């Protein structure tokens, strides 16, 4: 029979063997890309370190450059006494790495993270985990050279900027009045040459800030301005009377409810459609334009709806009146063209069909992606002649005109977008505008004359 003393010896031995001498290494987790990580002028790192068993003893985070180790963090954790192990099992460390402050030059380096626990392993030094990550210190800004010439830009109009970058920058493009238009390479043989179709929103006039910005992997950014002449535009003011007849015929189409105590439920429903649904539809559109084709699918002038009368213009400012009172105002961001009912609607230019479906106030709508962020949209259609994924040629029929959505009669609401901004289609219907503002600029860069 085992004595009490013997039992104590056995239990203490087991305790020492399995608890004090546990062999589980501490864990170090850092949020980092799998491959090499770029470190710019300042890089925030977040590192989580844990040891589930005996607890954390120490952590050391350092950067090793050209054989020299610079300590970023060195931290010892409290002990619970000789027998107790560590008091801390988990810690999150946030640090800001600033190479210049540490006197580190640009180039490859290693981020070293070492953690020890309170195990009795290795003669009371603990289990040890070492994680090393290759990093690249890059504090140099990318260089941006604008290659295209002077920009003449109309309020509500489009433009193109062509520029070269000294290094690949995942984020590069044009900012115009706070709106961002990504730039794309791949059009020119030189992979360092990018182009960005951009636009000036209808409500942004002369004095709007326009520039190219490039941000490299390490977060170094460069902004480069270029010569822009912005021409102000005066848009038409229009007022529309909303009749009960219109509301009676149109509102059932929309899945919105007026509040129960409303004295004018149809007019309230109209407001929800004209305001809230309009915003919701625009959100859908901004999602659609994100995955534009990285190729120029179109060529030459854009075509309009044949034999049609223009009923409303781009950026017409519309007041909506009901029972003699103004109840709403909106900006009309397309051109309304009326022909005969159920008329075939041609694609304005070559492109890819990226949407056919019901789009709230726009009714049955087709979106054509012309590449590099340029889109045309055909709304209030009665039916579709294309499906998503089709490539449509210029003049190919996308559908038949109708009055679906918020339309009083059969007409086409034609709109164009550069990235997520509605632009004036008049420019794209004008062969000399396209030539002077787009084609010549591309040709000049292609031939190397600029």
Would residue 180 be called left, alpha or beta, if left means φ above 0 and alpha means ψ between -120 and 50 degrees? beta
CB of 424 to Zn ion, least distance (A): 14
H or E, element range at 249: helix 244-250
CB of 330 to Zn ion, least distance (A): 10
CB nearer Zn ion, residue 394 or residue 413: 413
H or E, element range at 269: helix 265-271
CB of 182 to Zn ion, least distance (A): 28
CB nearer Zn ion, residue 156 or residue 334: 334
- How far apart CA 60 and CA 74 sit, in angstroms, is 5
CB 10 within 8 A of CB 2: yes
Instruction: At 201, list the tokens.
Output: 């929103």
Q: Count of alpha carbons within 13 Å of 341, Cβ hemisphere only?
A: 6
CB of 164 to Zn ion, least distance (A): 40
CB nearer Zn ion, residue 43 or residue 413: 413
Q: What does the DSSP 8-state code read for residue 402?
A: B
CB nearer Zn ion, residue 118 or residue 422: 422
Q: How many CB atoms lie within 10 A of CB 52?
A: 12
- How far apart CA 46 and CA 59 sit, in angstroms, is 14
Q: Name the residues that contact Zn ion, by CB under 5 A.
A: 334, 336, 413
H or E, element range at 413: strand 412-418
**What does residue 135 show for φ and ψ, rounded to 5 degrees?**
-130, 160
CB of 371 to Zn ion, least distance (A): 25
CB of 412 to Zn ion, least distance (A): 8
Instruction: At 368, list the tokens.
Output: 């054509």
CB nearer Zn ion, residue 188 or residue 235: 235
Name the residue with the smallest CB distance to Zn ion: 413
CB nearer Zn ion, residue 53 or residue 413: 413
Quote the distance between the C-alpha of residue 102 and its chain's center. 34
C-alpha to C-alpha distances, 278 to 49, 342, 416, nearest whole angstrom: 49, 25, 16
CB of 178 to Zn ion, least distance (A): 26
CB nearer Zn ion, residue 26 or residue 334: 334
């Amino acid at each position: 029979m085992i004595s009490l003393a013997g039992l104590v010896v056995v239990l203490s031995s087991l305790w020492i063997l399995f608890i004090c001498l546990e062999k589980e290494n501490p864990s170090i987790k850092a949020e980092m890309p799998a491959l090499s990580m770029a470190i710019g002028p300042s890089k925030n790192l977040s590192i989580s370190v844990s040891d589930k068993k005996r607890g954390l003893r120490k952590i050391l985070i350092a950067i090793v450059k050209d054989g020299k180790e610079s300590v970023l963090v060195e931290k010892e954790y409290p002990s619970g006494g000789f027998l107790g192990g560590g008091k801390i099992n988990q810690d999150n460390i946030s640090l800001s790495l600033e190479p210049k402050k540490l006197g580190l030059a640009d180039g490859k380096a290693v981020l070293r993270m070492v953690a020890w626990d309170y195990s009795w392993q290795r003669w009371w030094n603990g289990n040890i985990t070492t994680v090393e990550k290759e990093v690249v210190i890059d504090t140099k800004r990318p260089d941006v050279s604008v290659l295209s010439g002077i920009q003449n830009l109309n309020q509500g109009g489009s433009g193109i900027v062509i520029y070269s970058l000294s290094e690949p920058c995942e984020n590069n493009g044009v900012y115009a009045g706070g709106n961002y238009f990504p730039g794309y390479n791949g059009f020119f043989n030189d992979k360092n040459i990018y182009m960005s179709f951009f636009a000036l929103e209808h409500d942004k006039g002369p004095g709007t800030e326009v520039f190219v910005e490039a941000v490299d992997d390490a977060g170094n950014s460069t902004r480069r301005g270029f010569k822009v002449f912005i021409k102000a535009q005066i848009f038409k003011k229009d007022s529309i009377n909303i009749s009960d007849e219109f509301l009676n015929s149109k509102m059932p189409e929309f899945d919105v409810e007026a509040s129960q105590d409303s004295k004018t439920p149809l007019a309230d429903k109209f407001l929800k459609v004209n305001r809230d649904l309009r915003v919701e539809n625009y959100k859908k559109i901004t999602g659609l334009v994100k995955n534009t084709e990285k190729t120029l699918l179109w060529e030459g002038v854009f075509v309009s709806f044949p034999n049609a009368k223009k009923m409303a213009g781009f950026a017409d400012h519309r007041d909506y009146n009901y029972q003699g009172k103004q109840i709403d105002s909106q900006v009309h961001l397309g051109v309304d063209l009326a022909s005969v009912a159920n008329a075939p609607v041609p694609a304005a230019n070559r492109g890819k069909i990226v949407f056919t479906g019901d789009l709230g106030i726009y009714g049955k709508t087709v979106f054509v992606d012309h590449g590099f962020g340029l889109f045309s949209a055909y709304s209030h259609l009665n039916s579709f002649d294309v499906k998503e994924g089709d490539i449509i040629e210029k003049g190919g029929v996308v559908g038949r005109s109708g009055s679906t959505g918020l339309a009083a009669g059969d007409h086409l609401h034609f709109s164009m977008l550069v990235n997520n901004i509605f632009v004036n289609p008049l420019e794209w219907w004008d062969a000399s505008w396209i030539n002077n503002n787009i084609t010549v600029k591309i040709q000049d860069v292609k031939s190397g004359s600029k």
